[in-house]
Amino acid sequence: MPVVICIAIVAGAAWLLAGKDVSFALNMAISVLVISCPCALGLATPTAIMVGTGKGAQNGILIKSAESLETAHLVDTVVLDKTGTCTEGRPEVQAVYADDLDKAELLRLANSLEVKSSHPLAGAVTRYCDKQSAAPYDCEDYAETAGGGISGKAAGRRVLIGNRRLMEQSGADISAYSDRANKAAAGGAIPLYIAADGKVIGMFTLADPVKPTSREAIEQLHGMKIKTVMLTGDNAATAEAIRAQLGVDEVQAELMPADKARIVGEMMAQGRKVAMIGDGINDAPALAAADVGIAIGAGQDIAVESADIVLMKSDLRDAASAISLSRAVIRNIRENLFWALIYNSLGIPLAAGVFFPLLGWKLNPMFGAAAMSLSSFCVVMNALRLNLFGRGKNRSDNSKNPRSEDKTMENSNKKVMKIDGMMCGHCTATVTRVLNEIEGVSAEVSLEDKCAYITLTKDVPDEVLKNAVTAQGYKVKGIK
């Protein structure tokens, strides 16, 4: 603005020196001030950011800051957690092997420790044990080993449950189960060993199905020239099988929790712009360290809080949409700035009377004000074009709109829960998580509607659904 004032003063003074009267010189100076009012420049960026953020929220993409929206367009590498991000996050026991012990006793020992753990694999084991009526023993000296497993004392025996690394560290021989473990891992399953008093007594194999939309999401990222890397604590064979199913460029397996943040940091040090996508406690440091942290909405609270962007529908394709939206916003900002620059480059000389000696052109201040308003109008209308983002895009399924009629699931039991007390994206993420933790429940939560749209694959009483939500401090107004 000081530059514009100087130009106006110089223009007025120049015409006075050229012999024009005060009225003419003042007219030129005022025209410069009016036509160059920087409204368009001031609106160019915030209007596009505001519309882009709103469009993201409308599509279930919660963008926490303008900075994260602006940074996302630079992303050239997406790092993915496996469990709960690429997969459903609800593993199930496929098989149980107990060569040297009664299976019922093996399940009781396993249940005694796993019931104390919050890990998704532990949940799968406890659900299986409960179905088999394997009541847990009292557990003492319970402990968790990060990236390895759990240990404790049950029925007078020192029990250890975990992966190959943990068994090797404890000196337990897994060779009797190696062939079966390798075969399961090659199919994408996870082998989980159980040892008692230093001897491996059995093994579980668990499968966590890949989300049906994950491969499409990876293809979309590849179409945007973005490299994909999957990081997981699972064994290398299981990780490679999942990588092959999804088409991910690279996988790093058998990682400790701290390794994810370290690897993200190394990629950034190489000059890459990295987006980290995760859903768990172990992902939180990497989410915070990445250029852009993207959390799965149904993930744990600490992951949601650490992220810059939250995918409220827990659909990995929305990560590609978020990056695409960022690119559209930045392109829109550049268009706005280009228009404002062209407008000022032509308008200021015209208002100052540069063309008057040769062509007789001069600008009335009234028309200058109108031109300034028109410029601002053009910038705002261009920004509003972002509301068209995503229209006409065909996805392989239409399940992402919780209010749409999904013909492929027309026989499923659907319910709508009205919820009071949800104020932000964090609230909807919490409600989504607790509902999806209930077996047989698939839920999507809308902050706008204050509703949870629930699909049941088995009979779940309304009271169970209600208690899960009210336990988090929200009020359920009704279920229908």
Buried b (16+ CB within 10 A) or exposed e, 369-396: eebbeebbebbbebbeebeebbeeeeee
Q: Rounded to a whole number, what is the largest CA-CA distance in the chain? A: 110
Sheet containing strand 227-231, strands side by side:
61-63, 309-311, 292-296, 274-278, 77-81, 227-231, 250-252
406 classed as catalytic: no
* H runs (alpha helix) in 198-235: 214-223
- Non-local CB neighbours of 62 within 8 Å, separated by 6+ positions: 56, 297, 309, 310, 311, 312, 425
Identify the H or E element spanning 141: strand 139-145
The whole-angstrom separation of Cα 231 and Cα 217 is 17
The whole-angstrom separation of Cα 421 and Cα 424 is 9
Retrieve residue 189's tokens: 């399953």
Answer for the pair 238, 181: CB distance below 8 angstroms, yes or no: no
The whole-angstrom separation of Cα 296 and Cα 280 is 9
- Non-local CB neighbours of 433 within 8 Å, separated by 6+ positions: 297, 298, 299, 300, 301
Active-site entry in 21, 76, 81, 318: 81
* Residue among 197, 183, 226 at smallest CA distance from 80: 226
User: What single-letter amino acid sits at 412?
Assistant: S
DSSP state string for 4-60: HHHHHHHHHHHHHHTT--HHHHHHHHHHHHHHT-THHHHHHHHHHHHHHHHHHHHTT
User: What's 281's DSSP letter?
Assistant: G
The whole-angstrom separation of Cα 398 and Cα 62 is 20
* Residues acting as catalytic residues: 81
